Structure 1
Amino acid sequence: MTVNTKRPNDSEVDSEAKKVHIDLRDKGWAAIKAEFVIKNEEAADLYINDDDAEGGDRDQVQETTGKKKKKRGQNKNRDLRQEHGAIRLCTSLVDPDNAKECRFGAENCRSSHNIEEFLASKEPDVEGICPVFDAIGYCPAGLKCRWLGSHYDKETNKLLKDLAKIEVNQEPRELNRITNDAKIALQKKKYEFKTATKMISYLDSQVKNEAYMKNLEEKKDNQAEFVEVPFRVAEKKRLNFKNAKIVSPLTTVGNLPYRRLMKTLGADVTYGEMALTVPLLQGTNAEWALPKAHKSEYPGFGVQFAAGKHWSAAKAAEIIYRETPNVSELNLNCGCPIDLLYRQGQGSALMEQPSKLMRILKGMNYCSGDIPVTVKIRTGTKDNKNTAKSLVGRLLEENEVAAITLHGRSRQQRYSREADWGYVGEVAQVVQDWNNRKEENKDMSDTQATQFLGNGDVYTFEDWYAATNTPGIDSVMVARGALIKPWIFEEVEAQQYLDKSASERLDILRTYANFAVEHWGTDEYGIGLARRFMCEFLSFYHRYIPVGILERLPPKLNERPPKWKGRNDLETLLGSSDYQDWIKITEMFLGKAGENFHFTPKHKSSSYEQSRD
């Protein structure tokens, strides 16, 4: 939809100018002060596809059948592969002072063993000190580092090391790395699932009809095996979400460097990006990168996955418990609206199959050891047909879930309208009533109360307090609000709007860039990944409209601005919707993007060329 945002002439009266802004806001446009609106510029597209924010679009989602399917949605031809340098140095030589024997042999190795040739082929160093060297006292990328000059002595051909910093940073900075032995066992289908195997057999018996059973006695024996379950919720780790500052699971943009950034800005609880159970069980490297967490995240770090079958959910829960010890919670995604997962019976499709959902949660609960199980749902799958209230009632009766999160939109609605917090409050009352009855029941009083979280359109401290002051709502998950305005929890703490300067906002990006290269590496390939994910972050971050240029508060998450300029050139640049400007911003911290860098935005980016004065 295109809206005429042309401002009245200066000679027109103030009342007419106010009328224009009121009309704009009624149509979903933010009311920006007249002096900051760029006149005679056509407004940007009102609709932006935000499905990738919360458990949405996965760049590499595969059908569980293994068959290739056509990509759907915006920018389906995105090429996100990052290339290595022209000459790749063998990893055995990255540190000349501690060179290792190449396992392939110099003659058979595909990478170069000629250090002089490699150094001559490298792009010029990025200016400044290597962020990784500065943080931990050495750089694991060694000679491959793009900041090599800051920690390399050319005369002695040695990498420099800060022994004092190295001593302080002995402990691993990233947690939940699965062992190679376990990964290989998964890939060869030789991993032994001790708890899940028995539980799957029991759950299978629940879906078989009587004719398929050999005899009734066998069925009874199978059920008797699980009269006493391995773990009850009361024996699991305790969760306390009351007024906690929570960052929702976010796909693509909710990577480890971003979550680490949010911890520095006041977040209490973070979640890994949504993982898929089948690739986890296949030992896929990319999938096992998702449960990794920075040490600052634990305790308070949750792993989220999507599952369509009870067998895959039970096995995934067991292996997460056994191989990734630094996990506070295991969250089942029953809200993802993406068509591909929905067709596979995963994500929001589970809301239409309650019996299947109950089996999946039961399998997870019995196989996750002491890790509590939680679930995230939507109001329903169809518009004007809310089913969450009845589903939550059944969840409480049949499962011991530690927490339930409700996103106040249906699957069909996606992000087209505001979240229905009135209905979220109604469901919260159901949970509160259940907890009250549980306290009165002596047989159930020793189990944990089920906590309830809301989700959807929380963008200001006023939104946050309005939700958390609703009876039955323990806290809220913040998703897009924390991407567009990462300092949202600082505002919650201060209980006021913070008009962050452009310099302060740039410092946040600098911190993210440093965290990104610490995670992905300082070589050409690592910087390419850091730059790509920084651009993904900027695809949300640029949408922030400084409160100082707004005519009125509060701002709303789904309001889109007319073309505007900031109070200085940097503020204008940070608000640009042109992805080429996002790349320019990354170059301030990661050096100039090379010809091999690939990035295509997920969102429709309305590029514009106008004076930035």
Structure 2
Amino acid sequence: MTSTPEKRAADAVDGVEVETETQTQTKKQHVEYPKGVAVIKAEYIVSNPANNGESTASYDDDEAEGGERSKPENPSGGKKRRGQNKNRDLKQKREEIRLCSTLLDPDNIRECSFGPDQCRNSHNVEEYLASKPTDVDGICPVYQAIGYCPTGLKCRWLKSHYVEGKLLRKDDSEIKKDEEVNKISHSAKDLLRKKKYIFKLADQIIPYIDSQVQNEENLEKRKDNEAAYIEAPFKVAEKKKLYLKNAKIVSPLTTVGNLPYRRLMKTLGADITYSEMALTIPMLQATAAEWALPKAHKSEYPGFGVQIATSKHYQAAKVSEAIYKETTHVSEINLNCGCPIDLLYRQGQGSALMDQPAKLLRILKSMNYCSGDIPVTVKMRTGTKDYKNTAIPLIDRILKENDVAAITLHGRSRQQRYTREADWSYIGEVAQTVKTWNEKKEDDKEKSDTQPTWFVGNGDIYTHEDWYKAMAIDGVDSVMIARGALIKPWIFEEIESQQYLDKSANERLEILRTFSNFAIEHWGSDEYGVGLARRFLCEFLSFTHRYIPIGILERLPPKINQRPPAWKGRNELETLLGSTDYKDWIKITEMFLGKAGPEFQFTPKHKSNAYENSR
């Protein structure tokens, strides 16, 4: 409503003109907020945080990708607790008295192959039970989920399913089978370890790729080239179809992208998940830890991809064939061309492949030939150096010489890491490149029946508004979310509802409880499994604690690169969930996993979280 001079005069009091509602709102719209600061409502700001002057909002987001980067010292003197805590001791201590596995179930005691006198584990059940820490209150998550507890007497929730010397077991009709898939057989691992595994496909394609390398290195020797040329031994198998249009995708994530987390994200609306990055050499050596990475929960399939990192085409060929033959629930094999970790870069893996196009093409070709019906995809960055984007010519060459089912572009260079916002303008340019190639393919009669190459953008997606803005870019088929899904796991719910969801502290706690239960199902309910579950829950909390409840924000939307001042929540639980102190994270784990014993070890990845909290 327009305010006339007469109306303003009537509203004046003691010579001071009273602002109209419209004027007040207009002023609010022009308020200048500090750059890079998340503006908290005044009543939730803690004026004198007792943390020795240390910023509670210093994050190193290279940790999302397992990066390693040194941080500068504090110019004002002394060292800030910044950068990563390297050489973290993450090994969980095992029990002092370990019960022999043959005695786990009193109703099904098996003969020990070593004998009671020679076995290095205890055969004294009473002594073992007396040495165990006090049972965790509540019902065993594994027993509750599948109807029995395979851990038996080692279970930390033993009293919930151990009555009068017997382990409880539900009726067979209520027992659930193991729902984890992609477990490589012991015999296949043994053959890999002994280098006797038969690579029927790789052994044919590797000499062919090798001959191409020789031709590239001896271009001036045309006759020698012709003599060395080996014809392709077979055609690429027809691939399973991917459909990524508008798909809700969780990025491959180091450490935190484990099976329980991915399973949690499926319950919260994710369509596509990826394994943590697996290295080809340890896989070919049958390393148990590396072959644990392609394992998935059956709820992830279809829509589960295995990501690998390599620098050699022969390694890529063999691993792709092994994944094809030994797994059952893989929708795609993704080549990592974006990992910024210095160690991998120096070895020619990850983002280093962007500087070696010929090698990258050979690797993709090897994967395509040897992955059977599993499609091959690739994830990369804008380039390796700042202000020198190389993705467009590289992708142009990939599409010209290879069939890849999808390309994902992270809108940052390797050198940039997380120091600036993702470049969505360049992502849009790359999207047009892929779109143009797809249109050419449709016009080509020989290729018109092949699947299009999907293009996925990645970087700084923290809200549903970010997601829809990115999806509006012409040529972008979908958007991959990394940190946004770690900090705010319900982001796909917001995308679906197209609104901000002010999750209560109790709702957020239930999400953590679900993760905890999934973790115990995956790693086991014994002391060792509980220790792993606790450790990975702490790793998860190292991201979720950064969420700022929208109910205490002065303005929306929140930005992923904005840091808040010290704040308190609307209740004690909300304050606890936002704590930057890892000791508080351990307190949260104790709500689900019982008291952490003195043997539990956890060092936060980022140094700024490693101080005593006195909130």
TM over 0.5: yes
Residue 305 of structure 1 aligns to a residue whose secondary structure is strand
- Would you say 1:173 and 2:176 are equivalent positions? no
Deviation at 1:150, TM superposition (A): 0.3
SS in 2 for 1:407: strand
The one-letter amino acid of 1:198's match is Q
SS of the residue corresponding to residue 113 of structure 1 reads coil
CA distance in 1, matches of 2:407, 2:225: 36
Q: Which secondary structure state, in structure 2, belongs to the residue aligned with residue 52 of structure 1?
A: helix
Q: 1:198 to 1:470 in 2, by over 3 A?
A: same
CA offset at residue 215 of structure 1?
A: 4.8
| Structure 1 match to 2:170 | 162
Mapped contact 2:68–2:84 kept (Cα < 8 A)? no
Deviates more, 1:399-408 or 1:78-87: 78-87
- Residue 52 (structure 1) shift: 3.0
What does residue 7 of structure 1 align with?
Answer: none
Instruction: Give the superposition deviation at 1:106.
Output: 1.8
Name the CA distance, whole Å, in 2 between partners of 1:29 and 1:368: 47
1:55-66 map, 5 Å: 56=67
Residue equivalent to 2:422: 419
| SS of residue paired to 2:308 | strand
Which of residues 182, 193, 197 is equivalent to 1:191? 197
> Structure 1 residue 135 and structure 2 residue 141: aligned?
no
Task: Provide the residue aligned with 2:123 in structure 1.
Answer: 113
Matched, 1:596 2:599: yes
> Is the contact made by 1:152 and 1:159 (CA closer than 8 Å) also made in structure 2?
yes
Q: Distance in 1 between matches of 2:479 and 2:100?
A: 48
- Which residue number in structure 2 is paired with residue 54 of structure 1? 65
Give the match for residue 4 of structure 1.
none
> Which residue pairs with 1:32 in the alignment?
40
Counterparts of 1:281-430 in structure 2 under 5 Å?
Answer: 281-430=284-433
Alpha-carbon separation, structure 2, partners of 1:80 and 1:20 = 49
Question: What is the aligned partner in structure 2 of residue 100 from structure 1?
Answer: 110
Deviations 1:55-99 (A, max 9, x none): 6469xxxxxxxxxxxxx9721121100011120001111111111
| 1:236–1:305 Cα change, 3 Å | same
Contact 1:57 1:251 (C-alpha < 8 Å) held by counterparts: no
Q: Deviations over 1:442-499 (max 9, x none)?
A: 1111211100000001010001111112110000110000000000000000000000
Q: Is the 8 A contact 2:99 2:121 kept in 1?
A: yes
Residues 33 and 114 of structure 1, relative CA distance in 2, 3 Å threshold: same
Q: How does 1:410-559 map to 2 (within 5 A)?
A: 410-559=413-562
| Distance in 2 (alpha carbons) for counterparts of 1:194 and 1:581 | 53
SS at match of 1:400: coil
Distance 1:494 1:379 in 2: 31
Is the Cα–Cα contact under 8 Å of residues 37 and 564 in structure 1 kept in the other structure?
yes
2:538 maps to a residue whose letter is: C
The answer to whether the 8 A contact 2:582-2:604 is kept is yes
Q: Distance in 2 between matches of 1:576 and 1:434?
A: 48
2:228 to 219, 223, 228: 219
Task: Give me the whole-angstrom Cα distance separating, in 2, the residues matched to 1:89 and 1:609.
Answer: 37
Deviation by residue 1:580-607 (Cα, 9 ceiling, x = unmatched): 0000000000000011101001112346
Aligned counterparts, 1:227-238, within 5 A: 228-231=234-237, 235-238=238-241
Secondary structure of 1:182's counterpart equals helix
Counterpart residue identity of residue 89, structure 1: L
* 1:204 lines up with 2:201 in the alignment: no
Cross-structure match for 1:68:
none
- Counterpart in the other structure of 2:17: none
2 CA distance for matches of 1:331 and 1:365? Answer: 11
Aligned mates of 1:194, 1:398 — CA distance in 2 = 24
Contact 1:256 1:293 in 2 (8 A): yes
Please give the alpha-carbon distance, in whole angstroms, between the structure 1 residues aligned to 2:433 and 2:496.
29
Kept in 1, the 8 Å contact 2:581–2:613? The answer is no
For 1:271 and 1:607, locate their aligned partners in 2 and report how far apart those are by CA, in whole Å: 30
Residues 310 and 21 (structure 1), Cα distance of their counterparts in 2 relative to 1, 3 Å cut: farther
Mean Cα displacement is larger for which, 336-345 or 92-101? 92-101
CA spacing shift, 1:225–1:242, aligned 2, 3 Å: closer
How much has 1:348 moved relative to structure 2?
A: 0.2
Report SS of the residue matched to 2:515: helix
AA paired with 2:596?
A
Helix, strand or coil for the counterpart of 2:377? strand
Contact 1:89 1:111 in 2 (8 A): yes
- Cα contact 1:280–1:287 (8 A) shared by 2: yes
Cα 1:74–1:20 shift into 2, 3 Å? farther
Shift of 1:198: 1.5
TM-score by length of 1: 0.90
1:44 equivalenced with 2:59 (yes/no): no
Give the conservation status (yes or no) of the 8 Å contact 1:55–1:249: no
- The SS at the match of 1:149 is helix
| Aligned mates of 1:80, 1:488 — CA distance in 2 | 30
Q: Aligned partners of 2:599 and 2:567: how far apart in 1? A: 32
Amino acid at match of 1:49: D
**Structure 2 residue matching 1:337: 3-state secondary structure:** coil
Count of paired positions: 573
Is the alpha carbon distance of 1:565 and 1:47 closer, same or farther for their aligned partners in structure 2, counting shifts above 3 Å?
A: closer
Give the whole-Å Cα distance in 1 for the aligned partners of 2:382 and 2:376: 20
The 1-side partners of 2:207 and 2:485 are apart by: 42
- Which is worse superposed, 33-42 or 446-455? 33-42
Percent identity reads: 69
1:562 and 2:565 aligned:
yes
Instruction: List aligned pairs for 1:244-263, cutoff 5 A.
Output: 244-263=247-266
Superposed CA RMSD in Å reads 2.2
State the distance in 2 between where 1:20 and 1:47 align: 28
Structure 1: which 5+ runs fail to align? Answer: 1-13, 59-71
- Does the 8 Å contact 2:95/2:527 carry over to 1? yes
The aligned amino acid for 1:32 is I
Question: Using the alignment, how far apart are the partners of 1:355 and 1:312 within structure 2?
Answer: 16
Alpha carbons of structure 1 residues 216 and 495: separation in structure 2 relative to 1, 3 Å: closer
The 8 Å contact of residues 56 and 580 in structure 2, kept in 1 or not, is answered as no
Decide whether the 8 Å contact of 2:583 with 2:612 is kept in 1.
no
Distance 1:382 1:436 in 2: 31
- The Cα offsets for residues 327-365 of structure 1, whole Å up to 9 and x where unpaired, read as 000000000001000000000000000000000000000
Q: Give the Cα–Cα distance (whole angstroms) in 1 for the partners of residues 297 and 173 of structure 2.
A: 18
CA contact (8 A) 1:328 1:371 kept: yes
* Maintained 8 Å contact 2:520/2:533: yes
For residues 358-402 of structure 1, the C-alpha deviation after alignment (integer angstroms, 9 at most, x for no partner) is 000000000000000000000000011111111111111011000
